[in-house]
Chains A and B, each alone.
Chain A
């Protein structure tokens, strides 16, 4: 089976940087995804890591360490619209393309 842990809530200030951590245990790791979800809306794809290291995409970066079972999502120059839930999801080998999601980190951006 798989187990994914992320903090339930975080608060940060507009313009600042925030790091959202995700740890996972899985047999046969085959990729980690980050999604953003505003309340009542569809999850939207942010980033994908399958090899160790940092992937940068504008204000968003994601890091993966497979040996530690650890990833983080880094959000820079925070904006009010970044207030949302951030979902970490892991794909394992042999399971088609199904994703196992963490329960999400609710980020609140304040002035």
Chain B
């Protein structure tokens, strides 16, 4: 158990819908990262927040957005869902934002878009 929690574990929804994935980092960690893992793409970095501010951005679609709240939990919002958005979404956290920062991953949310 990494100490990173994610909810929900599983999510089934229809195309065109919107969902919110939630992540709570390890106690004391200020950085949160979101990754998408699909069968054909591997783990892809989406976005990083540090202490409430966006720190780095990957190939995150415009239909996706994220934020980190004052209590440091983070939410990833996925809208206008398409079949291709079906994937495992992982959240990770680290103490700071750079340097020797090991990222610890949560258990993931499995999203299925039908």
- Interface on A for B, CB 8 Å cutoff? 31, 33, 35, 40-45, 48, 50, 87, 89, 95-104
Contacts and interface: CB of A to CB of B under 8 A. Distances in A.
Contacts, number: 65
Interface of B: 2, 4, 31, 33, 42-45, 48, 50, 55-56, 58, 88, 90, 94, 96-108, 110
Contacts of A96: 48, 50, 55-56, 97-98
Contacts of A43: 43, 90, 105
Nearest to A103: B42
Contacts of B56: 95-98
A100 B100 contact: no
Contacts of A89: 43
B39 to A, nearest CB: 10
7 contacts: A31-B100, A40-B88, A40-B110, A42-B105, A97-B48, A97-B55, A100-B45
